[in-house]
Structure 1
Amino acid sequence: MYVVLGANGRAGGEAARALIERGEAVRVVLRRKEQGEKWTELGAEVAVANIEDADAMTDALRGTSGAFLLNPPPVSGDPFARTEELGAALADAARRARLLKAVVLSSIGAQHASGTGVIATLNRVEALLGGVAPATAFLRSGYFVETWSEVAQTVVSESVLPSFIEPSQKIPMVSTIDVGRTAAALLCEEWTGKRVVELGGPEDWSAGEVAVAFADFLGRPVVPVPVPAERRAALLAEQGVPDEVAHALLGMYEGIANGLFRREKDSEHRRGSVSLMTAIERVVATGGPASR
């Protein structure tokens, strides 16, 4: 049996589905029991636990073949302080449960301890969770294509793609479908020691190419519109993003602009198979984050 954290999120949900499709026994860890109905229907076992509750997480991890672990995206407070708290609790639980194998969600660019905003929290996650299992892999994902769902309504209604990324800059992007499939594949592989696996889509893409994919799906032009740096904080504030979280997010885009969102030379490099067009079609068709 494999344990999956964050099953009601983008990457965790895809990892759980990919494992179920492989015929593996899966236990999803959720905060509330009522969130588990859809997973029970898919044949998964449901455990209720908060990541910061080391005792409950130990019980959820104990006696399993491996686990997909992650640090949830920040929603409030200081993301770095929260990472220290959650990472320490999760590491404690994994060691007490004698976890045999861990695949930990990280990000391309996590080799940098600073200069990358919120991605730097994953540098700390890698430090905190290094060696929590005899086999530990850090899955450094590219920028989720599904993140563009956050502006999909604007694209559909106004035919413009607001972007914090310069339209011509190609970066590693990947669909969460590929993230889930790769996480499941890693859990089912045999190895010992530490691995760093960096994952992108079939090729690197730019915001301009994302706009073209939206345009192809909608059948009309879509113009990528860069949001000026001086306007970004106000825009996030209008969306209700707390100041500390906004600062960390803006730091990520600064890191991308400065060329820090790139693969590390000595890591394993993998590419997924889901095309940009397929991922964007799903974003528009579902009206938001991908779900199957």
Structure 2
Amino acid sequence: MYIVLGANGRAGGEAARALIERGEAVRVVLRRKEQSEKWTTLGAEVAVASIEDPGAMADALKGAQAAFLLNPPPVSGDPYARTEELGAALADAARRARLPKAVVLSSIGAQHVSGTGVIATLNRFEALLDGVAPATAFLRSGYFVETWSEVAEPVLSESVLPTFIEPSQQIPMVSTIDVGRTAAALLREEWIGKRVVELGGPEDWSAGDVASAFEEILGRPVESVLVPPEQRAALLAEEGVPGEVSSALLGMYEGIANGLFVRQNDSEHRRGTTSLTAAIERVVAAVGQAGR
């Protein structure tokens, strides 16, 4: 039995689907029972538990061959304090359940203690989860291609791609399809000890490359436009992002600009197979479907 946290999110959902497609027995851990129908339809077992409750989470993790663990994206409050709380609780639950193997979602750049904004929470999350299972792998993902869905509306309506990343700067990006497939593959591998696996797409991409992928799909020019740093906090505030979360996110983009979003030489490096165009095509389809 493979256990997957965050199944209703991007990475967790892809990991669960990848395991189910391989014919594996899967238990997804959800916060609310009403979210379970789509997973039971796919043949997964469902457990209801919150990371904040080590006892309930330990029960959800019991009997696992391996588990995919993650730190939920921050939505309110202090992301750093929240990571301390959730990381400690999840580590407690994993140890109570005697989890034999864990794949923990992290990010490229998580080797840095500071200077990377919200990514620095994953540096701490890795430290809190280190050794929670005899076999523990930290899957450090590149920037999710699907994150560009958050600015797809102006692309579709105005042919403009707003970006907080300098348009020509290439960074590790990867589709969550490949994150899920890699997580599923790692869960099924055998090893003992700690691993750090860094995952990017078939090649590194820039915001300009993303705009070109939108161009190809939409059949019209799309311009990538850098949002000046002094305007970014106001934009996030307009979108309802709380101040502490906004500061952490903006710190991430500052870290990217400063060249800290890079792989470590001594880590395992893997690349996915999903092209940028294929991933953006899925973004366009999802945004179109949501708008119906």
Same structural fold, with TM-score higher than 0.5 when normalized by the shorter chain:
yes
Matched, 1:209 2:184: no
- The 1:36/1:248 distance shift into structure 2, 3 A limit, reads same
> Retained in 2: the 8 A contact 1:3–1:29?
yes
State the shift of 1:288 in Å. Answer: 7.6
Unaligned runs of 5+ in 1: none
Q: Give the equivalent residue in structure 2 for 1:115.
A: 115
Note the residue ranges of structure 2 that are not aligned, 5 or more in a row.
none
- 1:94 to partner: Cα distance: 0.2
- Deviation of the 1:117 alpha carbon: 0.1
CA deviations 1:242-261 (Å, max 9, x no partner) are 00000000000000000000
User: What is the CA–CA distance in structure 2 between the aligned matches of 1:189 and 1:22, rounded to whole Å?
Assistant: 14
Shift of 1:38: 0.2
Separation of aligned partners in 2, 1:34 and 1:230? 41
Q: Report the Cα distance in structure 2 between the residues aligned to 1:227 and 1:175, rounded to whole angstroms.
A: 23
Q: 1:267: how far off?
A: 0.1
Q: Could you report, residue by residue, the CA deviation over 1:77-122 in whole angstroms, capped at 9, with x for unpaired residues?
A: 0000000000000000000100000000000000000000000000
C-alpha distance in 1, partners of 2:112/2:288? 30
Show the counterpart of 1:56.
56
Q: Does 1:71 align with 2:68?
A: no
Output the TM-score relative to the length of structure 1: 0.98
Is residue 104 from structure 1 mapped to residue 104 from structure 2 by the alignment? Answer: yes
- Flag as ranges the 4+ runs of structure 1 deviating above 3 A: none
Deviation of 1:153 after TM superposition, in Å, equals 1.1
CA contact (8 A) 1:163 1:227 kept: yes
Which whole-Å CA distance do the structure 2 matches of 1:289 and 1:140 have between them? 30
The one-character-per-residue Cα deviations of 1:45-94 (angstroms, maximum 9, x if unpaired) are 00000111000000000111010000000000000000000000000000
Q: Give the aligned residue type for 2:154.
A: T
For 1:199, the equivalent position in structure 2 comes to: 199
Distance 2:208 2:244 in 1: 29
Q: Does 1:21 align with 2:21?
A: yes
SS at match of 1:162: strand
The structure-2 alpha-carbon separation of the partners of 1:288 and 1:117, relative to structure 1 and needing over 3 Å to count, comes to: farther
Specify whether residues 28 and 288 from structure 1 end up closer, same or farther in structure 2 by C-alpha distance, changes over 3 A only. Answer: farther
Query: Which aligned pairs between 1:1-292 and structure 2 lie closer than 5 A?
Result: 1-287=1-287
- Provide the C-alpha distance between the structure 1 equivalents of 2:154 and 2:95, rounded to a whole number of angstroms: 45
Q: 1:138-162 CA distances to partner (integer Å, 9 max, x unpaired)?
A: 0000000000000111100000000
Cα RMSD for the two superposed structures:
1.0
Letter in 1 for 2:107: S
SS for the counterpart of 1:259 is coil
Aligned AA for 1:28? V
Q: 1:191-250 CA deviation, whole Å, 9 max, x = no partner?
A: 000000000000000000000000110000000000000000000000000000000000
**Cα 1:288–1:201, aligned 2, differ >3 Å: closer, same or farther?**
farther
Q: Could you report, residue by residue, the CA deviation over 1:241-291 in whole angstroms, capped at 9, with x for unpaired residues?
A: 00000000000000000000000010000000000000000000111899x
> CA 1:201/1:94 → structure 2, altered by over 3 Å: closer, same or farther?
same
- The number of equivalent residue pairs is 290
Amino acid at match of 1:155: V
